[in-house]
Amino acid sequence: MLYTPLHRLLGEAPGPITDAMIAATIAQKLEEGQELDFKTRLPEQKAMRSDDIVKDITAFANAGGGVLVYGVEDQEKVAIGRTDAGELSENYDRSLQQLCTNAITPPVLGVKAYAVGAEPTRAVVIVVPPTVDSPHMFFNNEKFAVPLRVNADTIWLRESQIATAYRARFESASRAQRELEDLYEQMAETLNPERGAVLVGVARPRTPSVVSGRRDSDEATSIALSATLLARWWLAGNEKYHPLEDVAIYSDRPGLRSWLMPANSDSEEWREAHAAIFDDGSLGLAWRAGGHRHGAKGDRLSGWTVRVPAIEGFVGALLALVHAAAEQRPAGEVEVMVGVEWNPPEGKRIPLRFVEKDDVETSPKTLTGNRFRRVVHTVDPSASEKDFIQAAIDIATDCVNQIGIKAPRTLHRQLPHRPRRIY
């Protein structure tokens, strides 16, 4: 769900950008500022690289994001009327994306353009998301320049300021990696890997959500329920074989800036699962995956043997949580980490094993390396539910490749028709 600085300045709830919002911008006499800039008309497509649009997108990216509104006339930076911004064609939008990728270093990813209204008062809103890759620069008058949005103006960073910005970027990236790994270890501790293999997954937004504040129990429950239903759709044919089915989503309890969801009392011990939903948009999921039942007789596997469909179900559930959380509190890119933890009893060397078939525990697969390497991906949950499954497929592919399997079998793009509610 979309929530931009324009929504916030107008007091609007998350949702699409509408023509009514542009009209309200005029009626409320919004002023240009740190996150908002007005323009009368889109630049000509062929002249994009020489237009201020490059500078403006780069400046907003370096300042934490912002919104360019084309089709609004301003007087002394105050919105006073509508103009016609011009047409945002598919070809024009493609050129805009190429501009953000090729004309700016490093590229500013995730820039979105939205066309609203009709002639003669068409408007185009370009949303520049927050980024962790600043400082961004572009080639200006035979040299690279680094613009920064400060209030309603643009300043140019000096060499010493650029060096400081680079240090801040690298320190931030290192800190974010440590926090992701700490969250992973925290979730792994909810289940004892000495009693059986455990699937662990965590997610953390790369930039803070534009919607802040503490979550309440209802919001956390709503996220978990939406994710459960989405995972069932993605895993059609095996729809209830994922960890959210084994989490007591209605029995959440408060944790440190989070809501913790314990194992479902109806689930058997060998399918114990825990989930955590944090106020800052981070998520955690752990599922005891070794020792699941298999075959017609429902025999138990050994604690160090994991069914491959369990891996796909786990990844699908985790990514469904990521999407559901972003629907409640829109965020930018999210860093995801998935792994399998298994600590054999002291003095024993028992390797992880994986079974693909449900008939008997024969010819189990082992890892192609010495251990299961944690998989880390950056995903964009602003995609539709139907398209976001690709992120789950990509992560699941990296997981099953380590077992010598070419591709996931349960997660795929050919989704069935989704009923209004899947129970």
What is the structure's pLDDT at 366?
72
What does the pLDDT look like over 337-384, one tens digit per residue?
A: 999 999 887 778 888 889 886 545 455 677 766 689 999 999 989 888
Confidence bin at 18 (pLDDT 50/70/90):
very high
Confidence bin at 418 (pLDDT 50/70/90):
confident
Strands 305-307 and 353-355: parallel
For each of the domains in the chain, give its residue range(s) and CATH number, in order of start.
Answer: 5-157 (3.30.950.30), 173-401 (no CATH)
What does the alpha-carbon distance between residue 69 and residue 130 come to, in Å, rounded to a whole number?
A: 17
Angle at 288 between CA 284 and CA 290, to 5 degrees: 140
Percent of the chain whose predicted confidence (pLDDT) is above 70: 94
Confidence bin at 327 (pLDDT 50/70/90):
confident
Nearest Cα residue to 206 out of 377, 56, 397: 377
What is the structure's pLDDT at 19?
96
What's the whole-model pTM score? 0.81
389 neighbors 288 (Cβ within 8 angstroms): no
Q: Is the pLDDT of residue 49 over 90?
A: no
Q: Is the pLDDT of residue 336 over 70?
A: yes
The mean pLDDT value of the chain amounts to 90
Question: What's the DSSP call for residue 135?
Answer: P
What does the alpha-carbon distance between residue 135 and residue 173 come to, in Å, rounded to a whole number?
A: 13
What does the pLDDT look like over 311-324, one tens digit per residue?
A: 999 999 999 999 99
Our measurement of the distance from residue 170's CA atom to the centroid of its chain's CA atoms, rounded to an integer in Å, reads 21
What is the structure's pLDDT at 419?
62
Q: Is 51 helix (H, G, I), strand (E, B) or coil?
A: coil
Confidence bin at 421 (pLDDT 50/70/90):
low
What is the structure's pLDDT at 207?
82
Our measurement of the distance from residue 63's CA atom to the centroid of its chain's CA atoms, rounded to an integer in Å, reads 21
